[in-house]
Structure 1
Amino acid sequence: MDIWEKPREWIVSVYIFFKIKTVHIVIFLAVNVLVGSMGIWMPILASLARHDMYAFEEFSKVLLAGGPYIFDVAYLAGSSSFLVYEYLDGKVGSYRRWKTLLGIVAFLLIILCTQLSALQTPPDGNGGSSYDPNSASSLTAPHLVPPSSPVELVDKKSHRTVSTLSLSENVQVCITIFAIFVGLGLFVADRIGDN
């Protein structure tokens, strides 16, 4: 059965899979997303425990270091590894076109995340950037999405400055959310014939 040949049956199969294998999906997400992204959220928890920094600032530092890109590469590579095994073993399997499409999307996302991670400007330790466009010895490349300073808004009630994410940080968060859904799709495509 293929998504393009019988889309209604495919939708019903996915619905049945989510209904029957809910625990499997929760375990997959808990292990792969929660544990796999520990390098992203653990510094935020540590800053909350120390009470010495706003969690938002710590999150911005994690984004500036490219943490989500690194998570995306590992998560998608692990989620799509079954495709390589299927092709090596010569198994046709069900939903071959769907699996192939998701595999191509995952591969392109891995390449994109790898490139964006490589282009990420390393922090200088003071919350700024060590990238100096005027320096001949600078080995870092400019961002694909130009770094922009976060927009600062002033809360009218408390008169406190509230920071928001910059464009490059928003792109990073959106790519990570998309990668999580692609990885979940790969997991479902691998297991859908088992229900």
Structure 2
Amino acid sequence: MSVPVIPTLPAAPSRADSGSVFAEKADAHVAALAGWTAKANELGDFLNTTGAEVAADAAAVAAQADAVQSAASLASAAAAAAQAAAGLPPTAQFGQVLHTEGLSNVISTTTQLQTGRAYECDTSAAAFSVPLPPNPNVGDFVWLNDHLGTFAKNNLTVLRNGKKILGKAEDFIVDLNYLNCALIYISAAHGWAIK
């Protein structure tokens, strides 16, 4: 439907007009008012109808946005489940919060590791050990990073704390500079996996 156009009214008479000119202008102006009023009403109806259609379209778009958001949430949950099923650490913002230690997040001495935390390990001054959490649940993880690239010079020893690492009853000695890894608890038989 096209937008109704309100016609321009003929010039209205003024007191300066002479008697016959005044009468002619008044007659033309009054005669045009009926058509002008009909077009003004038509435009009002058009605007009301269009406003209702816009409101309905906006509601439909909002409903579609909600559906997209719900689908995105389901996709995120599915991705997080797939990550966990694969024995991988969760992807950022997929439901688990990664905590850091202290304000600087850097450790340089023996520290009891806690699940769900990331540790920047600084062995630049000396080697040290970090015990894994003693009672992990399947899917628990810790994240370790060589803060200054000194693991080869001063090793970081990850103590197994009674659980296996990669299926072996051995501690994990980290001797590769700039290694960044996650340890994820898989099962009692396998213990901690290294990713």
Identify the TM-score tier after normalising by the shorter chain: under 0.3
Q: Which has the larger radius of gyration?
A: 2
TM-score (norm 1): 0.22
TM-score (norm 2): 0.22
| Relative contact order higher in (CA < 8 Å, ≥ 6 apart) | 1
More helix by share: 1
More strand by share: 2
